[in-house]
Amino acid sequence: MVFAKWFRRKSAADYVAEGERLLGAERHVDARLVFEDALEAMRSGAHPDPALEAKVLEKLVDIGNRLAALNLEEAEHALQAGNAAKARDHAELALAQAEDGEIRQKAETFMRAFAGSPDTEPAPASAHACQGCQPATGDNPAAGATADFLSVEERFQLMVQALPGDLPERYRSLGEKFAYSYVAIHEGDDAAGLGTLMELAAQGENDIVLYELALIHHRRGDDRECERLLRRAVALNPANSLGALGLVELYCETARPAEAVVILERLLVEGQIPDQAHLILGNIAAHQGDAPRALEQYTAALAYPSVGRAAAERLIPLLEEQGRSREAEFLYKKYCGGCR
C-alpha cells in the first residue's frame, strides 16, 4: 500500500495549502499554477466544495491582479529604458491578467498609447477617404491617450518613438519646452502648447514646428493657413514625410485628389513611406471608381507587412466584384482569417 500512497493524487486542500505557502513566499506565478490545479481537482472530484472553490477563485483573481500590477511596473521600466517592444509586451500581459477595473484601465491606456507604432498595424481607413498623415503621427486620439501614471517626459518619449525615420530624434532635439507643448497639444489642449510653438517659429523656421502649427490650424477649421504652413514645411525639408502626408490628407479632405496623387507619386519615386503611399493611392483610385488602378496599388501595398492587412481588406471586395473569388479567398485566409 506504500506505492499507492506515493502515487495518490493530491487533494484540492493539499493544493490550496501549497498555493498559500507559495503566495507567502511571493512566488506568484507558481502559486497561480497550483491554485489552478486545486480548481481542477475540485471540479473533477466526486464531492464538490463550493466554499473552497470560491476561495480558490478569489485567490486566482488576486494573483492575476498582483501579476498585472507587476507587469505594469515592468512596462514603465522598459519604456524608460527605451525598449518599447518589451513595454508593450508587459502591458499586454497586464491586460490579460487583471480583473481589477483600475489596473485594466491603466493597461488599456498604456496599450492605446502604442497605436501607430512601427510594429503595429495602422488603423484601417475608409475606402471613401484617403489614409493620410494620421496613422504615422501623434495627431491621433488613440495615440494621444497616454497613461496618466507616466511623467510628461515619458509621455513625450512614448508619443514620438513611433514617428518615421529620424523624426523621433529630431523631435527630442527641440528641447524641454517643445516637449511639454507637444504633449499638451496631442492630449487635446491646443491652447496650452500654441504659445511655445509660436515662440519657436519666431526664432527661425523649422519644418517640425510648422507642421505642428498646421495641425492646430486644421483642427480649428483654418484650412488655408494649414495648407500654407504645410507647404512651407515641405519646402524646408522634403524628406519630412509627415508634412507631405499632411498635405495629402488636406487635399483629400478638400476634394483635390489630383494634387494628392502628385505628392504620393513623388514619395514613391524618392522611396519615402512606399507602404502608405501605395495604400493611399489605392484609396483614391477606389473612391474615383478606377478599379484597375486601385487593384494595382493595393496589390503593391501587400508587399509591406505594415499595411498588408489593410490592403487585403480593400482588395477582397474588388476581387469579388470581378468574380475572382479564389484570389479573394486566398487573401482572406492569409491576411484576415486569423483576425478577431
Q: Which of 121-125, 184-188, 201-205, 257-261 has the lowest mean pLDDT?
A: 121-125
Task: Give the residue with greater pLDDT, 8 vs 203.
Answer: 203
pLDDT in tens, 23-78: 887 777 778 888 888 888 887 766 677 888 888 888 888 888 888 888 887 777 66
Domain range 2-112, its CATH number among 1.10.3470, 1.25.40, 1.20.120, 2.60.40: 1.25.40
Confidence of residue 126 (pLDDT cuts 50, 70, 90): very low
CB 285 within 8 A of CB 293: yes
CB 15 within 8 A of CB 41: yes
CB 233 within 8 A of CB 226: no
pLDDT of the residue at 188: 80
Over residues 133-141, the mean pLDDT reads: 35
Fold of 273-340: 1.25.40
Architecture of domain 128-271 in this structure? Alpha Horseshoe (1.25)
Confidence of residue 81 (pLDDT cuts 50, 70, 90): low
Question: What mean pLDDT is reported for the chain?
Answer: 79
pLDDT of the residue at 295: 94
pLDDT of the residue at 114: 60
152 vs 173: CA distance, rounded Å: 16
Query: Which range, 98-107, 126-135, 147-156, has the best average confidence (pLDDT)?
Result: 98-107
Q: Where in the chain is the domain with CATH 1.25.40.10?
A: 273-340
CB 55 within 8 A of CB 26: no
pLDDT of the residue at 139: 39
The 3-class SS string of the chain reads: CHHHHHCCCCCHHHHHHHHHHHHHCCCHHHHHHHHHHHHHHHHHCCCCCHHHHHHHHHHHHHHHHHHHHHHHHHHHHHHHCCCHHHHHHHHHHHHHHCCCHHHHHHHHHHHHCCCCCCCCCCCCCCCCCCCCCHHHCCCCHHHHCCCCCCCHHHHHHHHHCCCCCCHHHHHHCCCHHHHHHHHHHHCCCHHHHHHHHHHHHHHCCCHHHHHHHHHHHHHCCCHHHHHHHHHHHHHHCCCCHHHHHHHHHHHHHCCCHHHHHHHHHHHHHCCCCHHHHHHHHHHHHHHCCCHHHHHHHHHHHCCCCCCHHHHHHHHHHHHHHCCCHHHHHHHHHHHHCCCC
> Cα dihedral angle (227, 232, 238, 239), rounded to 10 degrees?
-90
Query: Which range, 25-34, 83-92, 238-247, has the best average confidence (pLDDT)?
Result: 238-247
pLDDT of the residue at 82: 60
pLDDT in tens, 187-224: 788 888 888 899 988 888 999 999 999 999 998 899 99
| Percentage of residues in the chain having pLDDT higher than 70 | 81
Over residues 161-181, the mean pLDDT reads: 87
Confidence of residue 235 (pLDDT cuts 50, 70, 90): very high
Task: Give the residue with greater pLDDT, 233 vs 39.
Answer: 233
324 vs 50: CA distance, rounded Å: 57
Task: State in Å, rounded, how far the first CA of the chain is from the last one.
Answer: 53
Retrieve residue 197's grid coordinates: 510653438
Task: Give the residue with greater pLDDT, 63 vs 1.
Answer: 63
- Check pLDDT > 50 for residue 129: no
Task: Give the residue with greater pLDDT, 306 vs 286.
Answer: 286
Dmax of the chain from CA atoms? 91
Confidence of residue 329 (pLDDT cuts 50, 70, 90): confident
Angle 28-34-38 from CA coordinates, rounded to 5°:
135
Nearest to residue 234, comparing CAs of 219, 253, 250?
250
Confidence of residue 80 (pLDDT cuts 50, 70, 90): low
pLDDT of the residue at 309: 85
Over residues 85-112, the mean pLDDT reads: 79
